[in-house]
């Protein structure tokens, strides 16, 4: 069964002004769709056809870079759409306590996400992740992912230029500030933490 381009979990105007409807149209409808289409084409008729996306990522890592890039980017983007929310949310009590322990406060966490994202060289992803009961900020370069690396990803922010260029031009820090201000989906992060295992791509 072929992977599907998952629907956005909100209206295409829900993230404005941080992320515009025009950006979502290109980013979701073209970039994400292309990753899905290329993944499906690469696994059609192979032993990976019908396997979960996470299994495809694991199988392709280190052995088939083209397939890995497209499968990992398919997963990353699905996770990214859910990491954002049109309405402001709050962390659960458990997540709030872990944030306070690791970063001091949610505001400090947001600041560090902004700094790590702004300082990330070239394309990639910045993650809030849990491992061994501890929170950390992680970075992956280009199309790499935390989906198969032993972490429980809670949130991610896309720092590829196509995520923000139409809205903020080359000002990545402005995009990061706008996204972290009130668009992070803390309910999604809290659900991921409570589940205790990495999110599974639903398409």
56: containing domain: 19-203
CA distances from 49 to 27, 44, 59, 199, 201 (A): 26, 6, 12, 20, 15
Question: Which neighbouring-strand residues pair with 136?
Answer: 129
Quick check: is 52 in a domain?
yes
pTM: 0.97
135-142 long-range CB contacts below 8 Å, 24 or more apart?
Answer: 135/98, 135/99, 135/101, 135/102, 135/103, 136/102, 137/109, 137/112, 137/113, 142/69
Number of domains composing the chain:
1
CATH number at residue 75: 3.55.40.20
pLDDT of residue 158: 98
Chain segment 159-202, per-residue pLDDT in tens = 999 999 999 999 999 999 999 999 999 999 999 999 999 999 99
Other CB atoms within 10 Å distance of the CB of residue 28? 19
**Closest by CA position to 76, among listed 134, 36, 25, 120:** 36
pLDDT exceeds 80 at position 1: no
Report yes or no on 8 lying in a domain: no
What's the mean pLDDT in 3-19?
97
**Domain assignment of residue 147, yes or no:** yes
Query: Is 3 a member of any domain?
Result: no
Q: Is residue 1 part of a domain?
A: no
- CA dist., res. 140 & res. 58, Å (int): 16
199 occurs within a structural domain: yes
The span from the CA of 109 to the CA of 190, in Å, is 15
Say if 6 falls within a structural domain: no
DSSP letters, 127-149, are EEEEETTEEEEEEEETT--STTT
Quick one: pLDDT band at residue 88, thresholds 50, 70, 90? confident
Q: For residue 203, what pLDDT is reported?
A: 82
Asked if the structure places residue 71 within a domain, the reply is: yes
């Amino acid at each position: 069964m072929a992977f599907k381009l998952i629907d956005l979990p909100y209206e295409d105007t829900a993230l404005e002004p941080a992320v515009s409807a025009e950006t979502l149209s290109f980013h979701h409808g073209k970039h994400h769709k292309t990753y899905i289409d290329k993944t499906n084409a690469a696994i059609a008729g192979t032993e990976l056809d019908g396997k979960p996306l996470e299994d495809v990522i694991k199988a392709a890592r280190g052995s088939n870079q083209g397939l890995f890039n497209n499968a990992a980017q398919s997963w990353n983007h699905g996770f990214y759409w859910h990491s954002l929310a049109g309405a402001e949310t709050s962390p659960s009590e458990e997540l709030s306590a872990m944030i306070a322990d690791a970063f001091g406060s949610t505001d400090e966490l947001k600041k560090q996400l902004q700094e790590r994202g702004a300082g990330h060289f070239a394309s990639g992803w910045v993650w809030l992740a849990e491992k061994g009961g501890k929170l950390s900020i992680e970075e992956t370069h280009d199309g790499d992912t935390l989906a198969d690396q032993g972490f429980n990803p809670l949130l991610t922010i896309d720092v590829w230029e196509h995520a923000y260029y139409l809205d903020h031009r080359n000002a990545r820090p402005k995009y990061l500030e706008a996204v972290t201000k009130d668009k992070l989906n803390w309910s999604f992060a809290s659900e991921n933490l409570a589940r205790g295992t990495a999110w599974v791509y639903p398409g």
